A and B are shown apart, each in its own frame.
Chain A
Amino acid sequence: MLDRMRRPRPDEGMTIRVLTVVQDIDTDLRHGLGGRGAPSAARRLRRLLAAQAVVLAGLDGTVAVAGPDPDPDELAALLAQTYENGTPAHRPPWSAVPLIVAGELSGALAVREGAEAELAAVGTLVSRSLDHAALRRARGRIAQAELRTLRAQISPHFLHNALSVIGARIRTDPARARTLLNDFADYLRYSFSAQGDYATVADELQAIQTYLELQRARFDDRMELSVRMAPEILPVAIPFLVIQPIVENAVRHGLEPKPGPGSISVSGFGEGPLCVIEIEDDGVGMEPEFAQAILAGSGGRAVVSPDTGRASVGLANVDQRLRTVYGPEYGLVIETARGGGTKVVIRVPRFMRGVVAN
């Protein structure tokens, strides 16, 4: 064992150098064959292959050359031959290999006076890098698409409750029913509005107000409510509908199972460059392990509460959206205990590139 570790490795420095070059090429090709890094990648490939000239050609006509410029006709013929068959082509002193990314031809790597055995291996390497780059770009798009699908899921539970509360009051208190119906219409318009992914804190608060008015009617006003907002944070942009699901969670899982009156407080303030919003209720609370399970479960998979037998999708959804938009350190913080109420804290930067309220 010890013996093997001591065995001299004459090519150690070489290995590190080659691996570094490979990594650099991968970074250069981050924006594809037409990207800004392509000429730099061609230069690195030229050094790696010790060739006279290296050409990185994209199928869309972009060409990055390192070394003396090739004769255009000669290069065109070589590329045409490569593309035609999708196999390595030779027109001495040039040779070329096709670059196949995810099963599709996307360009070619041509070399003048280079070793052919190495060319094939390097061609595969470049293809992998391009594939990697495409996947990286796709990941961003997926995150964005996911954000859109996660957005604004109004719970059917709430729709049903709201309509039955209003229905119950149409006879006994038509005026209130009318106000509630208007509130409900406002709320629906806000939740369905397709204007971008972000809203200001003020807009969000407006939506909660409507929601809470409806809930208070259901609770026959035995729910006390207080909102304390520092005005500095009202114009801050945050992801659409992040406060409301937390308030809804507080009502459904905190106050509904609790006998007697309950209270909810929503407060917000600036903390240096951060904007902090706290939603606290004095309801039944939950097992910290259960809260942990909700947040650990990703996105759509619902964790069913052992007490109420109901799922709590809202919190996990908000948590995931916050992390997607702002990064992992800005996830939700839940402070809870069984029988001790719940406090949920949203803490996000006041400014984040790209987060702009419409």
Chain B
Amino acid sequence: MSGPRRVRVTSPQTRIALSRGHRPAQHLLPQPVPGSPDEGELAHARAVFHRQRRLAARTLCLLALLLFGLSGLLGAAAWLGRVSVLGIPVSWLLLMAASYPLLLVIAVFHVRGAERIERPGRSGRPGPSERPGPSERRGPSRRRGR
């Protein structure tokens, strides 16, 4: 760095606030209310939410079934250890390698389902009206509280 040494400058408010250290947070702006107050949009958002929740619940059940089911199976079926494939006991193979692809499949199915719910202009949508295009929607939907 050449030239004269720079000096650090802030507004007086900032300087005092920084030097004062700990103090309770205060918001000058009114606390915003998230979400949009539009009634039609609200009904639509509720529908999307419920569908997403059903999907998430389903995925979670599948996941629980896989994890608890596989461990239960390995616990109950001791004979799996006596059979071997390529020299590896089947129960070990199931534990070491089989669960990962299944996990991936569950996740991929979930993501596809969730994206399908979010995709605009899908038929059979339980909304109050036809959903307008994304650019129109964005206009009036202010997310900030007022």
Q: Do chains A and B touch in the complex (CB under 8 A)?
A: yes
CA distance A139 to B13 in the complex (A): 18
Cβ-based interface call for B78 (8 A): no
Cβ-based interface call for A324 (8 A): yes
Q: How far is the CB of A153 from chain B (nearest CB, A)?
A: 19
Cβ-based interface call for A356 (8 A): yes
Number of interface residues of B (CB under 8 A): 29
B14–A335 touching, CB < 8 Å:
no
Pick from B3, B26, B28: contact of A337, CB under 8 Å: B3
CA distance A329 to B14 in the complex (A): 5
B18–A140 touching, CB < 8 Å:
no
CA distance A288 to B4 in the complex (A): 12
8 Å CB interface, B35-94 against A: none
Query: Cβ of A143: which chain B residues have Cβ within 8 Å of it?
Result: 28-30
Q: How far is the CB of B138 from chain A (nearest CB, A)?
A: 7
Residue of A nearest to B14 (CB): A331
B28–A324 touching, CB < 8 Å:
yes
CA distance A137 to B13 in the complex (A): 22
Cβ-based interface call for A67 (8 A): no
A147–B30 touching, CB < 8 Å:
no
CA distance A295 to B17 in the complex (A): 15
Cβ-based interface call for A197 (8 A): yes
Pick from A140, A147, A288, A327: contact of B9, CB under 8 Å: A288
B5–A337 touching, CB < 8 Å:
yes
Cβ-based interface call for B124 (8 A): no
CA distance A291 to B15 in the complex (A): 14
Number of interface residues of A (CB under 8 A): 41
B18–A329 touching, CB < 8 Å:
yes
CA distance A285 to B2 in the complex (A): 13
Cβ-based interface call for B144 (8 A): yes
Cβ-based interface call for A163 (8 A): no
B11–A335 touching, CB < 8 Å:
no
B9–A335 touching, CB < 8 Å:
yes
| Contact code string A32-66 (vs B, CB < 8 Å = 1, else 0) | 00000000000000000000000000000000000
8 Å CB interface, B105-140 against A: 138
Residue of A nearest to B28 (CB): A143
Cβ-based interface call for A107 (8 A): no
Query: Cβ of A328: which chain B residues have Cβ within 8 Å of it?
Result: 13-14, 16-17
CA distance A316 to B12 in the complex (A): 12
CA distance A325 to B145 in the complex (A): 14
B144–A319 touching, CB < 8 Å:
no
8 Å CB interface, A258-313 against B: 285, 288, 291-292, 295-296
A327–B10 touching, CB < 8 Å:
no
A333–B9 touching, CB < 8 Å:
yes
Query: Cβ of B9: which chain A residues have Cβ within 8 Å of it?
Result: 288, 291-292, 295, 333-336
CA distance A301 to B8 in the complex (A): 22
Query: Cβ of B4: which chain A residues have Cβ within 8 Å of it?
Result: 285, 337-340
A295–B32 touching, CB < 8 Å:
no
Which of A141, A195, A333, A354 has the most CB atoms of chain B within a 10 A radius of its CB?
Answer: A354
Cβ-based interface call for A323 (8 A): yes
A340–B28 touching, CB < 8 Å:
no
Query: Cβ of B28: which chain A residues have Cβ within 8 Å of it?
Result: 139-140, 143, 324, 327
Residue of A nearest to B139 (CB): A195
Query: Cβ of A288: which chain B residues have Cβ within 8 Å of it?
Result: 7, 9
CA distance A332 to B18 in the complex (A): 12
CA distance A308 to B12 in the complex (A): 24
Pick from B10, B13, B143: contact of A334, CB under 8 Å: B10
Q: How far is the CB of B19 from chain A (nearest CB, A)?
A: 10
Cβ-based interface call for B104 (8 A): no
| Contact code string A320-358 (vs B, CB < 8 Å = 1, else 0) | 000111011111111111111111000000000110101
A329–B17 touching, CB < 8 Å:
yes
Query: Cβ of B6: which chain A residues have Cβ within 8 Å of it?
Result: 285, 335-337, 340-343
Q: Could you name 9 residue pairs across A and B whose Cβ atoms are closer than 8 Å? A: A141-B30, A143-B29, A285-B4, A296-B12, A325-B29, A328-B13, A331-B13, A336-B6, A338-B4
Residues of chain A having any CB pair with chain B under 8 Å:
137, 139-141, 143-144, 147, 195-197, 285, 288, 291-292, 295-296, 319, 323-325, 327-343, 353-354, 356, 358
Q: Closest 3 interchain pairs by CB? A: A331-B14, A354-B32, A140-B30
